[in-house]
Chains A and B, each alone.
Chain A
Amino acid sequence: MRNIAEIYKKEIRFYFSTPIAYVVMFIFTAVFGFLYFRNLTYYSELSYQLMQNQYFAQRVDLILGVFAPVFNSNSIILLMVIPPISMRLFAEEKKSGTIELLFTYPLRDIQMVLGKWLAAVTILFSMLVLTVYAPFIAFGFAKSAEWGPVLSGYLGMFLMGVAFLSLGIFISALAENQIVAIIVSYGALLAFWFIGWAVDPDSGRQVGKILGELSIISHLINFIKGVIDTKDLVYYLLFIFSSLFLTLRVLESKRWRG
C-alpha cells in the first residue's frame, strides 16, 4: 500500500509541477464551458417558446435538452484530452531511462501500475469535478432539479474516461516514444469508438449487435439517459481490468526480453 501511495504521490507531483495537468484541465473545462453555455442559452430560448403552448410546456426537459447533448459531446473532448495524460506514464520512464532504477527497487509491478493509474484517474476525476457548476446553474433556475440522470451521466463519463486511461497506460507500456504512444492511443480509442458503426446494429444481423456492444461509446448512452445498466457497468470494468492486466504482462515480458 505504501509503495502504491509513493508512486501515486510522485506522479501527481509530476503532473502538477509540469504544465500537463493545468493545460489539460484548462482545455477540458474551457471546451466544456463553451458547449454548456451554447446548449443552455439555446435551450432556454427554445423552452421560452415552448412555454407558450400548454402541450409543449410539459415537454421541457433539462436532461434531454441540455445535459444529454453536452455529456455526449463531452465524451469526444475526453477522448482528446486523456491520451496526453496517459501517454507519459511508462513511455517517459523508458525513454529517459528512469525505469531502470525503478525496476531495481523492492517494488512489485502491480504497485507501480496501480500508483500511476490512480494518479491519472485523479486528474480525470478533478477535471470532471471542475464541471459540476453546470448542473447547479441549470437547476438553480429550474422549477425542479433532476439530480439522478446528471449523476449517472457523470458516473458514465468517469467510467469511460477511466477506460480510456487504462488503454492509454497499456499503450504507454508498449511504446518508448510518447508521440507514438499518443497517436496509437488515439487510433485505438477511435477504433473502439467506430467499431459499432461497422455494421448497422438495426440490420438484424448478429455481428452488428456484437460490434455495437463492443463500442466504447454505446455504453455511455444509457448512463446519460439516467439508466445504470449492469451490462454497461460490466463492460467498462472489464475494459479497465483487461487493460491493466495487459499492462502488467507487458512489463513482465519487457523484463524477460531485456
Chain B
Amino acid sequence: MYGQTVAVKNVSFEVEKGEILGFLGPNGAGKTTTMRVITGYFPPTDGDAIVAGHSVLTEPLEVKKRIGYVPENPALYKEMKVVDYLKFIGSIKGVARAHIGESVDSVIKKCALQSVTGKHIGQLSRGFQQRVALGQALVNDPPVLILDEPTSGLDPKQIHEIRELIKSMAGTRTIILSTHILPEVSMTCSKVVIINEGEIVAVDSTDNIGSRFVQHNQIEMLVQGQPEKVIEKLSELEGVMRIDNTSNRYTLDVEKDRDLRAQAAKKIVESGFDLLEMRTKAMSLEDVFLRLVTEEEGV
C-alpha cells in the first residue's frame, strides 16, 4: 500500500531468461508501481519480487546490481556530459575500475551515442536523452532490463529506433517493458501481461493472446450499390453474425474458423453490384485489450 490506496494487488507473474515481457495496461493501472517494486525503489507491503534468484526484500543490493532500469521520462543529471555520466553510473553500479572505459565505450556504440559523448545531457534531444537513459541501464551489462514506457514522448522515427535497440538487447537478457501502446507489444514482446486497476487480467504469449479472445473474424468490403440491398444479400450468407456499414464500406462479423470471402464475392457480383475492394481483418491486440479492460463496465 502506498498512502491509503492499494496500487497493485495480486500481481504475480514469471519471466524466463531471454524473454521480452510486455506489461500492458491503461494509464494508472499500476504498471509503474509494479516496476518500482521490482527495481527495489518501493518495497512491497506484502509479497516479494525475486530477480535472478534474489529477493528485493532481503537482498535489495544484489537485485539492484542485476537490474538496468529506465523510468518513464527518465530524469538524468542535465549538467553532466554524456560520457562522464555513463562513467559515474558505471562506477556506482560496480563496474571494475579497469573495465569502466571499455563498458562505457561499448554502451556508447550500442546506443549510437558517438556523436554526443562530449555534450551536456540537458542539451540533447528527447530521443538522445532516452538513449542515454538506456545506456545507464546497460552500462554494467545487467541480466535484467526494466523499461517503463520506453517510447513515450518520442517522435515516430525515434520510437522506431528505440524499439530496434530494445529488440537488439534481448537474447541473453530478460526484458520487462511497460506500455500503453498496443502495437509496441505485438512488435517487440514475446509475452504479455495485461493489467488493469492494479490486477492482472491476462497473461499469455503475444501470439496466443490474440486468438484466445477472438470470437469472430471480420471481412471488410467496399461495394458499389444500394446499401439496404447489399446488406440484404450479404445477410443471406451462412455464418454471418453481424453487418455494419458506413456508406459503401461494409464490415462483416463472421463465425470463427470460417472463410466466407469467396462466397461473399460471388454473392455481390451475382446480385449485380460492383465489388471494389475486400480484405480480412484479424482481431488486433487492441481489440483484445479494449475488451479485457472495459469488460466490467459492460461496454
Contact among B42, B77, B78 for A255, CB-based, below 8 A: B42
A59 in the interface, Cβ–Cβ < 8 Å? no
B28 contacts across to A, CB distance below 8 A: none
Contact-residue bracket for chain B? 20 to 34
Contact-residue bracket for chain A? 20 to 34
Q: A97-B73, A100-B41, A106-B92 are in contact. Are A14 and B79 (CB under 8 A)?
A: yes
Q: CB-defined interface of A80-109 with B at 8 Å, one 1/0 digit per residue? A: 000000000000000011101101111110
B71 contacts across to A, CB distance below 8 A: 97, 100-101
Considering the complex, give the chain B residue whose CB is closest to the CB of A14. Answer: B79
* Shortest distance from the beta carbon of A146 to any chain B beta carbon, whole Å: 45
B178 in the interface, Cβ–Cβ < 8 Å? no
Q: CB-defined interface of B63-91 with A at 8 Å, one 1/0 digit per residue? A: 01101010101111111100010001101
Contact among A18, A97, A104, A258 for B39, CB-based, below 8 A: A104
B227 in the interface, Cβ–Cβ < 8 Å? no
A6 in the interface, Cβ–Cβ < 8 Å? yes
- A108 to B64: give the CA distance in the assembly, Å: 11
Contact among A3, A14, A258 for B2, CB-based, below 8 A: A258
Contact among A6, A96, A100, A108 for B61, CB-based, below 8 A: A108
A10 contacts across to B, CB distance below 8 A: 77, 80, 88
Within 8 A of B (CB), among A92-133: 96-98, 100-101, 103-108
A256 in the interface, Cβ–Cβ < 8 Å? yes
B88 touches A104 (CB 8 A): no
B43 contacts across to A, CB distance below 8 A: 255-256
- A255 to B64: give the CA distance in the assembly, Å: 15
B94 in the interface, Cβ–Cβ < 8 Å? yes
Interface centre among B41, B74, B77, B92 (most CB of A within 10 A): B92
B2 touches A98 (CB 8 A): no
B136 in the interface, Cβ–Cβ < 8 Å? yes
A205 in the interface, Cβ–Cβ < 8 Å? no
A98 touches B75 (CB 8 A): yes
B64 touches A6 (CB 8 A): no
A104 touches B79 (CB 8 A): no
B92 touches A6 (CB 8 A): yes
B64 touches A106 (CB 8 A): yes
B80 touches A13 (CB 8 A): yes
B91 touches A6 (CB 8 A): yes
B3 in the interface, Cβ–Cβ < 8 Å? yes
Contact among B42, B78, B94 for A258, CB-based, below 8 A: B42
Contact among B3, B88, B136 for A9, CB-based, below 8 A: B88
* Shortest distance from the beta carbon of B267 to any chain A beta carbon, whole Å: 60
B18 in the interface, Cβ–Cβ < 8 Å? no
A101 touches B75 (CB 8 A): yes
Q: CB-defined interface of B183-217 with A at 8 Å, one 1/0 digit per residue? A: 00000000000000000000000000000000000
- A32 to B75: give the CA distance in the assembly, Å: 39
Within 8 A of A (CB), among B244-297: none
B93 in the interface, Cβ–Cβ < 8 Å? yes
Considering the complex, give the chain A residue whose CB is closest to the CB of B69. Answer: A104
* Shortest distance from the beta carbon of B33 to any chain A beta carbon, whole Å: 8
B40 in the interface, Cβ–Cβ < 8 Å? yes
A17 in the interface, Cβ–Cβ < 8 Å? yes
A231 in the interface, Cβ–Cβ < 8 Å? no
- A14 to B91: give the CA distance in the assembly, Å: 17
- A18 to B78: give the CA distance in the assembly, Å: 11
A257 contacts across to B, CB distance below 8 A: 2-3
A143 in the interface, Cβ–Cβ < 8 Å? no
Contact among B69, B75, B93 for A97, CB-based, below 8 A: B75
* Shortest distance from the beta carbon of B61 to any chain A beta carbon, whole Å: 5
- A161 to B118: give the CA distance in the assembly, Å: 36
A100 contacts across to B, CB distance below 8 A: 36, 41, 71, 75
B42 contacts across to A, CB distance below 8 A: 255, 258
* Shortest distance from the beta carbon of A218 to any chain B beta carbon, whole Å: 40
B41 touches A104 (CB 8 A): yes
Offer 5 A-B interface pairs, CB within 8 angstroms, sorted by A: A6-B92, A97-B74, A101-B75, A105-B92, A255-B41
Q: Top 8 nearest A-B pairs by Cβ distance?
A: A97-B75, A258-B2, A106-B64, A104-B39, A106-B65, A98-B75, A6-B91, A104-B69
